[in-house]
Amino acid sequence: MTDFPASDISDFPPGDASQARLVAHVEQCLQQARAHYPTLPAPGVWCDLRGRSAGQAHYGRGGLRFNMTLYAEQPEPFLAEVVPHEMAHWVVHHVYPGRVRPHGVQWQQVMIDIFDRAPRVTHRFDTTRASPAPYRYACGCRVHHFTRRRYLNERRGSQYRCRHCGERLHLDAVS
C-alpha cells in the first residue's frame, strides 16, 4: 500500500468536513504513530460507515471506516476524538497481535503516549457501548455480531463456526 500524499492539516479552515481534511488527519495520526512504530502499515480509508458508529477499524479490509454524516455534524470533535480513537485500534492490532481487549491497557497507552488524548472509551460519538453486540465477526458469507461475552470466549480459544457456510468466524472489525 502506498503512503498518503503529503498534506498540511492547517490548509483546512475550521468547520471543513471534507474527505480531504479527514484523510489529512488520518495521515497526521499515522506519522505520530510511526514515530513510535516505524513499520506500521498505512491504513486504507473508507467513508462508507453508516448508522450509529462514528468510526471502525476494519481489519478484513485493512483500514479505517468513517461515518461522514456524523463527521459533517461536528467536524472538529470528530477529528480530535474519532480519528485517533480508530487509529489507536489500528496501532494495537499491528503492534499487539493476538488476545488484547479492544479498549484495554494497550489501546489506552497508545491514546496517551502517541496521541496525547484521554483514553475514554466513549467519546461523544461513540455509541458502541450501547450496542449489545459491538464485535463484528466474519466468515465466508456474512457478518456476525458478537456480544462481549461471546467475544471473550472466542479470544480465549472457543471456536465458532458459521452455520451457513461452515467457516470459522474471525474478528473482522471493532469500533
Q: How far is the CB of 127 from Zn ion (least distance, A)?
A: 11
List CB contacts of 71: < 8 A, sequence separation 6 or more.
17, 22, 54, 78, 79, 82
Q: How far is the CB of 77 from Zn ion (least distance, A)?
A: 16
Q: Does 162 bind Zn ion (CB under 5 A)?
A: yes
Q: By CB under 5 A, which span of 3-11, 65-73, 136-144, 146-154 interacts with Zn ion?
A: 136-144
Q: For residues 134 and 131, what is the distance between their CA atoms, to the nearest angstrom?
A: 6
Helix segments in the chain, DSSP class H: 19-36, 68-73, 75-77, 83-95, 105-113, 148-155
Q: Does 95 bind Zn ion (CB under 5 A)?
A: no
* Residue closer to Zn ion (CB basis): 12 or 55: 55
Among 139, 151, 154, 173, binds Zn ion (CB under 5 A): 139
Q: Does 161 bind Zn ion (CB under 5 A)?
A: no
